[in-house]
Amino acid sequence: MLLGVTFSAPADLKIWANETGLTTDLLCDADRAVAMAYGAAESPDQERATRLSVLIGSDGKVLKVYAKPDAELHPEDVLKDLG
């Protein structure tokens, strides 16, 4: 399963997904709790998240964190790591 997490409001996420044709589920992290837990934000008042990707195993454990993933190469990297 692929999920995107952002600080944007749900209504804004829906508009953006429709404009871009994005089919990935997008989740709203308005209080920055998820971003802070995964290291994508340092405080609840941080305006923008640090872009990162987290690969989580079926057991719920973090397998790998990708700092500043390259959008074009990232899917291939993740598939390689999934083996």
pLDDT of residue 3: 86
Distances (CA, A) of 4 to 39, 41, 43, 69, 83: 15, 15, 19, 13, 22
Radius of gyration of the chain (CA): 13
Listed residue (65, 72, 60, 64) closest to 50, CA to CA: 65
pLDDT of residue 83: 86
pLDDT of residue 25: 87
Query: Which residue range is the domain that position 62 belongs to?
Result: 3-82
CATH (domain of 31): 3.40.30.10
- Torsion, CA 9, CA 23, CA 58, CA 51, rounded to 10: -50
pLDDT in tens, the chain (83 residues): 788 899 999 999 999 989 999 888 889 999 999 999 999 999 999 999 999 999 999 999 999 999 999 989 999 999 999 98
Domain tally, the chain: 1
